[in-house]
Amino acid sequence: MLTFGKLKLDSNLLLAPISNYCDLAFRLTIRPLGGLGLACTDLVNSRGVLRRTKRTLELLRTEPADRPLCIQLYGCEAGPMADAARWCRDNGAEMLDINMGCPAPKVTRHNGGAALLKTPPAAVRLAETVIRAVDLPVTVKVRLGWCDDSIVAPALAGDLERAGAAGIIVHGRTAAQQFKGRVNLDGIRRVVEAVRSIPVIGNGDVRSPADAGRMIDRTGCAGVMIGRYALRDPWIFRDAHAFLTTGSLPPPPSVADRLEFMRTHFEHLLRLRDERVACLVFRQRISWYGPKLGHCPAFREAMRNVRSAGEFRRLLADFWAATD
Ligand SMILES: Cc1cc2nc3c(=O)[nH]c(=O)nc-3n(C[C@H](O)[C@H](O)[C@H](O)COP(=O)(O)O)c2cc1C
């Protein structure tokens, strides 16, 4: 259905990297819902990979059920990026992505992420070194450009294809825009038109199966990457896949299904991290999961303060019983 180099995927829908959100626990929970072709780690510092820092190893943690997996690297130095790519190849990655879209100062200040869009020739040389270092498909995730006056993504995508990139993922905004305004579908279409045969994946503001269909229709992109909305409604991949392949939607998940999803996510966090982290994550995640649970201010408030696994399980069980 969608192919990056030698990697064939069952669906053309991808989970976006969302730093501090799309970790192993979340990926293991969302994959069984279906419809997801590929999940990606959050962005990982290439120098951190080489130093095997605790934070980096946590970000790179994976398990056999967490497949197919793309590891996203960032950095601006070819040598460390290539060495990090080789380490990732040997530790679970079936695909690598180079981040050229992150606008966060802590990344761009060191010339990584979206800062690479300011120097396209250097960006292409960097990608070429990584591509030559590993026999895995390597994609590049870009924004349309650094700012409105410098829309480089189409030309860059063509150059990256000639350098051997297996695909381009494009978030249809500039770095200067951050997350403001609406995704620019025409901008994504121009990237699609600039490559010869590699897939271009569109990204930005997909909040429904219809949005995914519209992005494909309006841009000609080969697939769609979804980020923030998947945190709110993890069934988006199942639903969008059904919609794109059959034109109809499965019955929506019940509140019980959503509570079961939360329980599984929490139990993965407990197993992979610890009770403190699991509670901290859920104090924050309830603002993503909550809106789909109907009117439940007391439950949401209690979750925002959850302090133990026992309390979490009790809150869930009480809410479950009340909705039966
Ligand atoms: C909190 C946050 C963290 C993000 N972290 C990453 C990241 O690590 N790597 C990356 O390529 N994009 C990152 N992104 C951008 C998303 O992958 C995606 O391009 C963007 O959110 C637009 O897609 P969406 O509208 O479906 O969320 C992040 C976005 C947010 C909101």
Q: What is the pLDDT of residue 323?
A: 83
| CA 178, chain centre distance (Å) | 16
Do residues 17 and 58 both lie within one domain? yes
Pick from 15, 19, 191 the residue to mutate for probing ligand 1's pocket: most ligand atoms within 8 Å of its CB.
Answer: 19
Angle between helices 309-323 and 275-289 (to 10 degrees): 30
Give the DSSP H/E element, type plus range, for residue 269: helix 255-272
What is the tens place of the pLDDT at every residue in 44-92? 999 999 999 999 999 999 999 999 999 999 999 999 999 999 999 999 9
User: Pocket residues for ligand 1 (CB within 6 Å)?
Assistant: 16-19, 42-43, 72, 99, 101-102, 141, 171, 203-206, 226-229
Angle between helices 153-162 and 185-194 (to 10 degrees): 30
Question: Separation of 64 CA from ligand 1 center, angstroms?
Answer: 25
Do residues 128 and 181 both lie within one domain? yes
How far from each other are the two terminal CA atoms of the chain, in whole angstroms? Answer: 40
Pick from 36, 169, 170, 171 the residue to mutate for probing ligand 1's pocket: most ligand atoms within 8 Å of its CB.
Answer: 171
Q: What is the pTM of this model?
A: 0.97
Q: What is the DSSP letter of 227?
A: -
Residue 75: name the closest of 35, 115, 134 by CA: 115
Under-50 pLDDT residues of the chain? none
Do residues 277 and 163 both lie within one domain? no
Q: What is the DSSP letter of 34?
A: S
What is the tens place of the pLDDT at every residue in 303-312? 999 999 999 9
Cα distances (angstroms) measured from residue 315 to each of 117, 223, 259, 294, 319: 47, 39, 10, 16, 6
**CATH code of 295's domain:** 1.10.1200
Domain boundary among 213, 228, 246: 246
Which atom of ligand 1 lies at the shortest distance from residue 230's CA? 26
Do residues 213 and 259 both lie within one domain? no
Do residues 269 and 225 both lie within one domain? no
The one catalytic residue among 70, 102, 221, 279: 102
Domain boundary among 206, 224, 246: 246
What is the tens place of the pLDDT at every residue in 190-225? 999 999 999 999 999 999 999 999 999 999 999 999
Query: Which residue owns the Cα nearest ligand 1 atom 29?
Result: 18
Do residues 219 and 311 both lie within one domain? no
Question: Separation of 167 CA from ligand 1 center, angstroms?
Answer: 18
Who's near 144: CB < 8 A, 6+ residues apart? 151, 152, 153, 170, 171, 172, 173, 174, 184, 187, 188, 191
What total of structural domains would you count in the chain? 2
Question: Separation of 172 CA from ligand 1 center, angstroms?
Answer: 12
Question: Half-sphere exposure of residue 126, counting CA atoms within 13 Å on the CB side?
Answer: 28
* Beta carbons of 88 and 72 less than 8 angstroms apart: no
Which atom of ligand 1 lies at the shortest distance from residue 99's CA? 11
Domain boundary among 246, 269, 285: 246
Do residues 82 and 133 both lie within one domain? yes
Do residues 95 and 221 both lie within one domain? yes
- Told to judge if 102 belongs to the known catalytic residues of this protein, a careful annotator would answer yes
Do residues 134 and 61 both lie within one domain? yes
Which atom of ligand 1 lies at the shortest distance from residue 225's CA? 26
Residue 99: name the closest of 47, 168, 201 by CA: 168
Do residues 219 and 278 both lie within one domain? no
Who's near 308: CB < 8 A, 6+ residues apart? 275, 279
Q: What is the pLDDT of residue 1?
A: 82
* Beta carbons of 41 and 68 less than 8 angstroms apart: no
Do residues 220 and 312 both lie within one domain? no
Pick from 21, 46, 228 the residue to mutate for probing ligand 1's pocket: most ligand atoms within 8 Å of its CB.
Answer: 228
- In the structure encoding, which two tokens stand for residue 49, read together? 């990979």
Do residues 58 and 115 both lie within one domain? yes
**CATH code of 43's domain:** 3.20.20.70
Question: Separation of 154 CA from ligand 1 center, angstroms?
Answer: 20
Cα distances (angstroms) measured from residue 95 to each of 8, 43, 108, 195, 225: 11, 14, 23, 20, 15
315-319's contacts with Cβ under 8 Å and 24+ in sequence apart are: 316/259, 316/262, 316/263, 319/259, 319/293
Instruction: Find the domain containing 6 and state its range.
Output: 2-246
∠ CA(135), CA(223), CA(56), 5° rounding? 50
Question: Separation of 314 CA from ligand 1 center, angstroms?
Answer: 33
